């Protein structure tokens, strides 16, 4: 959520009263913004050095509150100090609209452009700063770091229409960038700003394109090189009277949203708002922009009342909605409907649900009747796998083991190399954009987490006995999401001796609780009808019999040779390899920095469902 | 946590204290009660106490503790008792010699006595000055100071408070606290401590020895034997409390067994636009391998599981009325989601941006379990009926790790679908839900969330912090999310969520999330955490 800092005294003056911090906090709470900080209560020297500010968090979809003007206006309307202004276009003073022609080449890089002219604007230092800050906030939020939309503002009296929006090879574009003295071409400009803290992060948007977007006036003066920088020639100052705003974008909805926001916030400081004639025949986007007519929507009276649990007349609803900036009239055609005019600043209103929410806010969320409609009856049910897991968890804990909860993401090495396991490239789910090497893949085994947990707890008295029942993930191309989870149970013991019998004993105990009898491997292999589990030593010889986890036959290099065993299960007439236990290989201990012998057990619980 | 040492009851082992025990027993034979400060004055109070405790715990003696004050003489006062007061010594010297030069006096009685004693002897009119010599005045004198001190030496007390203060000031006496015990024979008094056994054994049961045996008493100031106990993880214990709250309210647990989801289920179907900041590389883990999800399609395995879980409910609420189920059309759903984003549909103008199928089918680590709620609600469209679902499971955010953020945490999510739900009803439900963990009087703040409208942040008053804190999020799912699923327009759905970690941290005063989840959690924290009872403090 963006945070906007506004001058406290100026805002309270605009709201026509003083508020205590608590009172203002209440007002914000009711309206749905959040007072983050009142710097008059701050002890920091940098805060005390300047006039008190209110730092206000704005919901991400309220682009019309990203500056002082918007916050003041919306709160004044909410407090019924004023009605929302109705922004109107004025005809041009000198007969003809300014024209901006969009060239087809722009399709290759940034295809939409719009604009507006604010004539006779009265800047003060505060207004000027706010104007610049709003553009910055819009660039950061709605425009997604200028990728989707970018704004350029110019002193109209320094340039001459008609204007053109073109896309040219970087070498052909030459101008003096804002606040610079040297003329440079597009290529040089990229190098010049490479290291710039502020602009450097936007260069990637166009750098590798064969053509760069550029806006010219009638004299081939460069207005701007969107979305990077304006030209120095047309820069606005405190004395600028007539502002030409151009907006380029990848998205034709957002280009007009930004146009609306700028007009809604700063139009009131101007004598007149003047449209621009956009010529863009190649993509049927020729038009006069902006269109300041409120959007017409309809809302069902019953819907507004039902969802809020209120019973208001259309007139009452209209009054509440006016406090949120809507103008509302009963529909002339259908009595059950309201005609709602959505002003240009409310780009967030998409559906009558949004109007309903604003009705509820104006009425007061916390005043709404809190009545629970007691009609839905339901029957609870746990997820079978969670029920099974709970059984195993309780049994492991009652057997004296401690439950731990390591993370699911881990490094590739922890999951493979450190366990002496090989990645076949078809098993582990890999992350595209982790911030650290700690999170490279979704674990395919619970062992790395258990061993890291023991490592963090090395200072504890041994034996350390821990377990986890949780999920691992695998690539599975047969699934819609190309992956699947598997519920595992794993345990590890570190002590002065290996603890091999301990993990074996825990396995026996859990199996017993899951009603699986111990049988010998001869019995299990001979008689598939006989249900139960048996243990097969992993000694390098290949065993016959099917195995769901084929890597578990033969030797398992995770373990000390001759000290590991596969766990086999006959259940429902099927023969499964469900897991493995053994004494960890000393090289594994070394990697996880474990000072004493460790034995582990890991089984797949899915077959017991 | 309780303090104390574990181990066997300590046995006094030094022969010294055995002797004290015997001395007490012997003495009591002839004198009961006895007073230790008098009768056992030579033995230190500590040893006396140890012996008495040992005997008292066996009912061989009873005793009462008496605190008293003792007036003790300083070495100077002891000297006075032995040799007389300073003034007395001056008077004796003067009387014996008949006449003493003032200059000579210190040589005879010492400097101290000469200085203090002559003044007092003048005041008492025992001697007088004769030129620069001293001559006796009284024939007989009474040395009161010495008598008073002698009396104190014998009785160790002085009743005249004024006099006591005077003596203290003159540094002749000190007052000290004395603990003394008045000891009497107990019901099991004997001259000897009988042989004791520390524990009941099988042999004693067999031989009948237990009937006459003397059992050594327990020391209840120490802890019992440490239990070799296993433990469940505290966070899982909190999770279980929340699950119980949901089960008590008739919620069905959702099938959350997949960490990876498609952009479709995690975002698009929830009406989260493709340019939303949540879909940034900075916030979401994307999957590089496998590369891409399939379009949404039936998942018979998970369907069957949920069918089985809901069978009981269907049986219970079955009516004679024949209900038609409306088969779901996944292709239509996919198209409608595209439409509602790109062009607008279902009464919404939509976001009106070029929607990308590739973006929609990108795989992500689910950022919320609401992705699963979406799947479950889509399933509900087949037979729209009142329903309640919940889940508590792991979610992933590409966060920079700090004290309050981990890349993984648990989301608690609840969903209630019904016809004609109101916003106030959700508030009432949440009031009841949070009251079960002792949080009363909720307030709701309007908020923004792309998939709920209205959206409400839930605030509870935190007594410890003395302020309102955000404890969860809630709202009613947007029509743009529900109607493409095929749910009827008048069916409304509450959704609410909170993290499992945050209330646990607030409740148990954990300030760093890494002390609660992950491999760095201390095993002692797991082993020693009390049972979780959210309704109790």
**Average confidence (pLDDT) over B206-220:** 86
Interface test with B, best of A142, A356, A366, A480 (most B CBs within 10 A): A480
Best of A380, A390, A393 to disrupt the B interface (most B CBs within 10 Å) is: A380
What ranges do the domains of chain A cover?
3-78, 98-289, 295-365, 384-608
Residue B501: its pLDDT value, please? 94
Give φ, ψ of B116 to 5 degrees: -75, -45
Give yes or no for a contact between B59 and B186, defined as CB atoms under 8 angstroms apart. yes
The single residue listed with the structure tokens 């004769």 is B130
Tell which A residues from 332 to 361 touch B, by Cβ distance under 8 Å: 348, 350-354, 356-357, 360-361
* Residue A138 CA from chain centroid, whole number: 17
Q: Minimal Cα–Cα distance from B311 to chain A, Å? A: 9
Helix axes B234-248, B501-508, angle to 10 degrees: 110
Identify any residues that bridge with B408 across adjacent strands, giving them in sequence order: B396
Could you report the per-residue pLDDT of B306-340, keeping only the tens digit for each? 999 999 888 888 888 877 888 899 999 999 999 99
pLDDT of residue A93: 76
Q: Write the DSSP symbol of residue B491.
A: E
Handedness of CA A504, A510, A513, A517 (dihedral sign): negative
Phi, psi (degrees; rounded to nearest 5) at A437:
-70, -10
Q: What is the pLDDT of residues B171-194, one digit of tens each?
A: 888 888 888 899 999 888 888 887
Residue A285: band (very low, low, confident or very high) from pLDDT cuts 50, 70, 90? very high
pLDDT digits (tens, 9 = 90+) for B147-169: 888 888 888 888 888 888 888 88
Contact A489, A602 (CB under 8 A): yes
Tell me what pLDDT residue B423 has: 96
How many beta carbons lie within 10 A of that of residue B50, not counting itself? 17
Contact between B498 and B413 under an 8 Å Cβ cutoff? The reply is no
Q: What is the pLDDT of residues B13-68, one digit of tens each?
A: 444 555 888 888 888 888 888 888 888 888 888 888 888 888 888 888 999 988 88
Q: Are B408 and B375 in contact (CB under 8 A)?
A: no
Which whole number is the average pLDDT over A536-561?
60
- Please report the residues numbered 332 through 391 in chain B whose beta carbons come closer than 8 angstroms to any beta carbon of chain A: 344, 346-354, 363, 365, 386-388
Q: Does domain A3-78 have CATH number 3.30.56.10?
A: yes
- Residue A549's pLDDT is 44
For A273, residues 6+ apart whose C-beta sits below 8 A from its C-beta are A87, A88, A89, A90, A116, A117, A118, A119, A263, A267, A292
- Mean pLDDT within A92-119: 93
CB proximity under 8 Å: B 391-430 to A: 394, 396, 398, 400-401, 406-408, 416-418, 420-425, 427-429
Contact with chain A for residue B215, Cβ under 8 A? no
pLDDT at B1: 40
- What residues of chain B, 135 to 174, have a C-beta less than 8 Å from chain A? none
Structure tokens at B225: 């034997």
Range of weakest confidence among A105-114, A170-179, A261-270, B134-143: B134-143
Place of tokens 């806010």: A361
Average pLDDT over residues A183-210: 94
Q: What is residue B8's predicted lDDT score, i.e. its pLDDT?
A: 43
Contact A343, A326 (CB under 8 A): yes
Compute the nearest-CA separation of B487 from chain A (Å). 16
| Helix H or strand E segment including A314 | helix A314-322
Mean pLDDT score of chain B, rounded to an integer?
88
**CA gap A87, A260 in Å, rounded:** 10
3-state secondary structure of B144: helix
Q: CA–CA separation, A275 vs A114, rounded Å? A: 10
DSSP run (H or E) holding A23: helix A21-31
With a CB cutoff of 8 Å and minimum separation 6, the contacts of B319 are: none
pLDDT at res. B16:
55
pLDDT at A573: 80
Candidates B413, B514, B237, B238; CA nearest to A406 is B514
Q: A32 and B448 in contact by Cβ < 8 A? A: yes
The C-alpha atoms of residue B389 and residue B378 are separated, in whole angstroms, by: 13
Mean pLDDT of all residues in A423-440: 94
The terminus-to-terminus CA distance of chain B in angstroms comes to 16
With an 8 Å Cβ cutoff, are A361 and B446 in contact? yes
Cβ within 8 Å of residue B455, ≥6 positions away: A357, B446, B447, B448, B449, B473, B474, B475
What one-character DSSP code corresponds to residue B496?
E
Question: B360: which 2 tokens?
Answer: 């929609």
Of A44, A32, A31, A35, give the one whose Cα is nearest residue A8.
A35
Which residues in chain A have their CB less than 8 angstroms from residue B408's CB? 407-409
Cβ pair A226, A215 in contact under 8 A: yes
Would you call A309 and B432 a contact, using CB atoms and an 8 Å cutoff? no
CB contact at 8 A, B411 and B395: yes
Cβ distance A379 to B344 less than 8 Å, yes or no, reads no
Task: Please report which residue ranges of B396-463 form alpha helices under DSSP H.
Answer: 423-435
**What is the C-alpha to C-alpha distance for residues A425 and A422, in angstroms, rounded to an integer?**
9
Burial (0-12, 13-18, 19+ Cβ within 10 Å), A142: buried
What are the angstrom distances between the C-alpha of B245 and each of A372, A558, B368?
17, 42, 21
pLDDT band, residue A547 (cuts 50/70/90): very low
Displacement of CA A159 from its chain's centroid (Å): 41
Picking from A384, A434, A443, A416, the residue whose alpha carbon sits closest to that of residue B518 is: A443
pLDDT of amino acid A548: 35
Q: Would the CB atoms of A368 and B427 count as touching at under 8 Å?
A: yes
Cα(B168)–Cα(B166) distance, integer angstroms: 5
CB contact under 8 Å between A401 and B407, yes or no, is no
Contact B100, B89 (CB under 8 A): no
Q: Which CATH architecture has domain A98-289?
A: 3-Layer(bba) Sandwich (3.50)
Residue B464 distance to chain A (closest CA, Å): 19
Instruction: Kindly give, in sequence order, each residue whose CB lies less than 8 Å from that of residue A425, ignoring residues fewer than 6 positions away.
Output: none
b/e string for B214-235 if b means 16 or more Cβ within 10 A?
eebeeeeeeeeeeeeebbbbbb
In angstroms, the CA A202 to CA A226 distance is 10
Contact present, A262 and A254 (Cβ < 8 Å)? no
Tell whether B273 is within 8 A of chain A (Cβ).
no
Q: What is the pLDDT of residue B12?
A: 47
Q: For residue A213, which of A188, A248, A189, A171 has the smallest C-alpha distance?
A: A248
Closest to A59 (Cβ–Cβ): which among B286, B448, B520?
A: B448
Tokens of B312: 């009981």
HEC assignment per residue over B470-506: EEEEEEEECHHHHHHHCCCCCEEEEEEEEECHHHHHH
Query: How far is the C-alpha of A270 from the C-alpha of A263, rounded, in Å?
Result: 9
| Helix ranges (DSSP H) in B343-422 | 357-360, 370-380
At B281 the pLDDT is 82
The answer to whether residue B199 scores a pLDDT higher than 60 is yes
pLDDT band at A17 (very low <50, low <70, confident <90, very high): very high
- Provide mean pLDDT across the span A236-257: 96
Percent of chain B with pLDDT over 90: 47
* Facing B517 at nearest CB: one of A394, A401, A405: A405
Q: What fold characterizes domain A295-365? A: Phenylalanyl-tRNA Synthetase; Chain B, domain 1 (3.30.56)
Are A456 and B519 in contact (CB < 8 Å)? yes
Would you list the DSSP string of A549-576? SGGGSS--TTEEEEEEEEEEEEETTEEE
Distance in angstroms (rounded) separating the CA atoms of residues B517 and B410: 10
- Give residues 168 to 207 of B whose Cβ lies within 8 Å of A: none
The pLDDT value recorded for residue B76 is: 86
Alpha helices in A421-515 (DSSP H): 447-456, 500-513
User: Over 80: is that where the pLDDT of A527 sits?
Assistant: no
The residue-averaged pLDDT of A296-311 equals: 96
pLDDT at B34: 87
Q: Do domains A3-78 and A98-289 have the same CATH topology?
A: no
Give the domains, in start order, of chain B with CATH numbers: 15-66+176-195 (1.10.10.10), 75-169 (1.10.10), 234-314+327-528 (3.30.930.10)
Query: Residue with structure tokens 């929302």?
Result: A84
B344-392 tens-digit pLDDT: 999 999 999 999 999 999 999 999 999 999 999 999 999 999 999 999 9
Q: B467: part of which helix (H) or strand (E)?
A: strand B467-477
Class of domain A384-608: alpha beta
Structure confidence at residue B177 (pLDDT): 84
Looking at the complex, does the CB of residue A368 fall below 8 Å from at least one CB of chain B?
yes
Q: Which of A321-330, B97-106, B197-206 has the highest mean pLDDT?
A: A321-330
Cβ contacts below 8 Å, chain A against chain B, sum to 304
Chain A residues 4-43 with CB within 8 Å of chain B: 29-32, 34
Token pair recorded at residue A17 = 């009263």
Q: Is A460 on the interface with B (CB under 8 A)?
A: yes
Task: Specify the higher pLDDT residue, B125 or B347.
Answer: B347
**Chain centroid to CA B297:** 51
What's the pLDDT band for A550 if we cut at 50, 70, 90?
very low
Give the lowest-confidence range in A332-336, A351-355, A359-363, A582-586.
A332-336
CA dist B136 and B343 (Å) reads: 131
Q: Give the nearest partner residue to A483 out of B260, B281, B454, using CB atoms.
A: B260
Low-confidence winner among A371-375, A413-417, A451-455, B286-290 (lowest mean pLDDT): A371-375
Between CA B414 and CA B237 the distance in angstroms is 19
Cis peptide preceding B33, ω within 30 of 0: yes
* Token pair belonging to A407: 């993370």
Cβ neighbours of residue A147 under 8 Å, at least 6 residues apart?
A205, A227, A250
Measured CA to CA in angstroms, residue B87 lies from B83, B112, B168, B351 at distances of 11, 11, 19, 113
Nearest to B285 among A357, A431, A455 (CB): A431
pLDDT value at residue B105: 83
| pLDDT range class, residue B226, cuts 50, 70, 90 | confident
* B469 and chain A in contact, CB less than 8 A: no
| Nearest CA distance, B175 vs chain A (angstrom) | 52
- B456: helix, strand or coil: strand
- Nearest CB to A378: which of B275, B354, B386? B386
Contact in structure between B452 and B475 (CB atoms under 8 Å)? yes
With tokens 């006075």, the residue in question is: B80
A461 touches B: beta carbon within 8 Å: no
Res B449: pLDDT: 94
pLDDT mean across residues, chain A: 93
Out of A251, A372, A481, the one facing B428 most closely (by C-beta) is A372
Q: Do β-strands B127-130 and A598-604 pair in parallel, antiparallel, or remain unpaired?
A: unpaired
CB contact under 8 A, B351 and A385: no
Statement: residue A553 has pLDDT above 80: no
Gap from A94 CA to chain B (nearest CA, Å): 36
List the alpha helices (DSSP H) in B258-416: 263-266, 300-316, 330-342, 357-360, 370-380
Q: Per-residue b/e over A292-311, b at no fewer than 16 CB within 10 Å?
A: bebeebebbbebbbbbbbbe
Question: Residue A360 is nearest to which of B254, B297, B423, comparing CB atoms?
Answer: B423
DSSP, collapsed to helix, strand or coil, labels residue B474 as strand
Which residue of A lies nearest to B299 if distances are taken between CA atoms? Answer: A480
Mind listing the pLDDT tens digit for each residue in B383-418?
999 999 999 999 999 988 888 889 999 999 999 999
């Amino acid at each position: 959520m963006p945070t906007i800092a506004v001058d406290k005294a100026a805002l309270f003056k605009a709201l026509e009263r003083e508020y205590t911090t608590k009172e203002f906090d209440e007002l914000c709470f009711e309206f749905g913004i959040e007072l983050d900080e009142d710097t008059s209560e701050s002890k920091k020297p940098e805060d005390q050095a300047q006039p008190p500010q209110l730092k206000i968090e704005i919901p991400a979809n309220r682009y019309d509150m990203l500056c002082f003007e918007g916050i003041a206006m919306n709160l004044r309307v909410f407090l019924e100090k004023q009605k929302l202004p109705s922004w109107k276009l004025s005809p041009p003073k000198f007969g003809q609209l300014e024209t901006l022609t969009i060239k087809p080449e722009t399709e290759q890089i940034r295809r939409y452009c719009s604009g507006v002219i604010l004539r006779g604007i009265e800047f003060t230092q505060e207004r000027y700063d706010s104007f610049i800050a709003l553009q910055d906030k819009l660039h950061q939020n709605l425009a997604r770091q200028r990728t989707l939309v970018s704004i350029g503002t110019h002193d109209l009296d320094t340039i001459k229409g008609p204007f053109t929006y073109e896309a040219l090879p970087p070498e052909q574009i030459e101008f003096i960038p804002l606040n610079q003295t040297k003329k440079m071409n597009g290529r040089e400009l990229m190098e010049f700003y490479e290291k710039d803290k502020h602009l450097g992060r936007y260069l990637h948007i166009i750098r590798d394109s064969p053509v760069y977007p550029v806006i010219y006036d009638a004299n081939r003066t460069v207005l701007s090189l969107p979305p990077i920088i304006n030209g120095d020639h047309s820069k606005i100052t405190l004395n600028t009277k007539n502002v030409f705003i151009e907006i380029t974008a990848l998205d034709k909805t957002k280009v007009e949203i930004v146009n609306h926001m700028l007009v809604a916030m700063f139009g009131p400081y101007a004598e007149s708002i003047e449209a621009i004639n956009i010529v863009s025949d190649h993509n049927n986007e020729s038009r006069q922009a902006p269109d300041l007519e409120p959007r017409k929507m309809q809302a069902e009276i019953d819907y507004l009342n039902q969802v809020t649990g209120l019973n208001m007349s259309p007139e009452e609803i209209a009054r509440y909605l006016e406090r949120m900036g809507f103008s509302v009239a009963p529909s002339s055609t259908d009595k059950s409907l309201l005609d709602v005019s959505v002003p240009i600043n409310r780009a967030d209103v998409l559906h009558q649900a949004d109007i309903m929410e604003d009705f509820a806010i104006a009425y007061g969320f916390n005043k709404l009747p809190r009545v629970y409609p007691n009609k839905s009856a339901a029957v609870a049910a746990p997820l079978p796998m969670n029920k099974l897991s709970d059984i195993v968890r309780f049994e492991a804990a009652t057997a004296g083991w401690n439950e731990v909860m390591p993370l699911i993401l881990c490094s590739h090495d922890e999951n493979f190399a450190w366990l002496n396991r090989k990645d076949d490239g078809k098993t582990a789910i890999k992350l595209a954009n982790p911030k650290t090497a700690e999170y490279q893949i979704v674990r395919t085994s619970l062992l790395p987490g258990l061993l890291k947990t023991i490592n963090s707890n090395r200072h504890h008295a041994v034996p350390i006995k821990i377990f986890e029942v949780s999920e691992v993930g695998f690539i599975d191309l047969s699934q819609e999401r190309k992956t699947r989870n598997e519920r595992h149970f794993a345990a590890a013991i570190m002590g002065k001796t290996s603890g091999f019998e301990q993990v074996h004993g825990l396995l026996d105990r859990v199996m017993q609780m899951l009603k699986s009898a111990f049988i010998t491997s001869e019995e299990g292999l001979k008689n598939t009808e006989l249900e139960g589990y048996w243990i097969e030593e992993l000694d390098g010889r290949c065993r016959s019999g099917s195995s769901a986890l084929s890597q578990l036959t033969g030797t398992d290099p995770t373990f000390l040779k001759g000290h590991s065993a596969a766990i086999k299960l006959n259940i429902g007439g099927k023969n499964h390899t469900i897991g493995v236990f053994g004494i960890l290989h000393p090289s594994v201990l070394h990697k996880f920095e474990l000072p004493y012998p460790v034995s582990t057990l890991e089984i797949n619980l899915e077959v017991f469902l | 946590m309780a303090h104390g040492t574990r181990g066997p009851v300590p046995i006094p082992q030094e022969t010294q204290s055995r002797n004290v025990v015997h001395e007490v027993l012997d003495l009591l034979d002839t004198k009961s009660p006895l007073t230790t400060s008098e009768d056992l004055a030579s033995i230190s109070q500590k040893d006396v106490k140890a012996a008495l405790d040992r005997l008292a715990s066996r009912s061989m003696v009873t005793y009462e503790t008496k605190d008293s004050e003792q007036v003790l003489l300083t070495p100077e006062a002891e000297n006075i008792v032995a040799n007389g007061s300073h003034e007395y010594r001056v008077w004796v010297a003067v009387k014996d010699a008949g006449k003493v030069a003032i200059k000579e006096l210190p040589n005879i009685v010492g400097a101290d006595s000469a200085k203090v004693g002559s003044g007092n002897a003048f005041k008492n009119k025992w001697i007088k000055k004769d030129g620069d010599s001293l001559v006796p005045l009284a024939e007989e004198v009474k040395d009161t100071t010495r008598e008073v001190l002698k009396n104190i030496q014998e009785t160790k007390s002085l009743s005249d408070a004024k006099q006591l203060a005077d003596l203290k000031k003159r540094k002749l006496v000190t007052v000290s606290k004395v603990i003394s015990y008045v000891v009497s024979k107990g019901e099991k008094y004997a001259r000897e401590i009988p042989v004791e056994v520390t524990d009941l054994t099988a042999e004693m049961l067999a031989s009948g020895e237990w009937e006459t045996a003397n059992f050594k008493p327990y020391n209840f100031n120490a802890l019992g034997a440490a239990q070799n106990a296993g433990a469940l993880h505290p966070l899982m214990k909190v999770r279980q409390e929340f699950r119980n709250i949901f089960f008590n309210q008739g919620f069905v647990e959702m099938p959350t067994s997949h960490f990876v989801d498609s952009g479709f289920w995690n975002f698009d179907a929830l009406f989260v636009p493709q340019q939303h900041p949540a879909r940034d590389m900075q916030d979401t883990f994307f999957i590089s391998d496998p590369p891409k999800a399939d379009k949404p399609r039936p998942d018979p395995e998970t369907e069957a599981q949920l069918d089985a879980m809901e069978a009981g409910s269907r049986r219970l609420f079955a009516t004679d009325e024949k209900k038609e189920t409306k088969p779901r059309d996944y292709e239509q759903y996919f198209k409608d989601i595209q439409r509602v984003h790109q062009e607008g549909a279902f009464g919404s103008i939509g976001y009106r941006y070029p929607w990308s199928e590739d973006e929609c089918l990108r795989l992500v680590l689910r950022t919320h379990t609401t992705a699963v709620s979406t799947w479950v609600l889509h399933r509900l469209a087949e037979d729209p009926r009142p329903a309640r679902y919940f889940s508590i499971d792991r979610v992933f955010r590409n966060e920079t790790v700090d004290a309050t953020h981990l890349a993984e945490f648990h989301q608690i999510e609840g969903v209630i679908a019904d016809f004609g739900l109101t916003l106030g009803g959700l508030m009432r439900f949440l009031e009841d839900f949070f009251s079960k963990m002792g949080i009363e009087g909720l307030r709701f703040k309007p908020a923004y969330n792309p998939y709920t409208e209205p959206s409400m942040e839930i605030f509870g008053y935190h007594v410890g912090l003395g302020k309102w804190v955000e404890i969860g999020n809630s709202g009613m799912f947007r029509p743009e999310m529900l109607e493409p699923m095929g749910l009827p327009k008048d069916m409304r759905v509450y959704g609410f969520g909170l993290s499992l970690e945050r209330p646990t941290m607030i409740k148990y005063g954990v300030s760093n999330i890494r002390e609660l989840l992950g491999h760095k959690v201390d095993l002692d924290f797991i082993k020693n955490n009390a049972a979780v009872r959210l309704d109790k403090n």
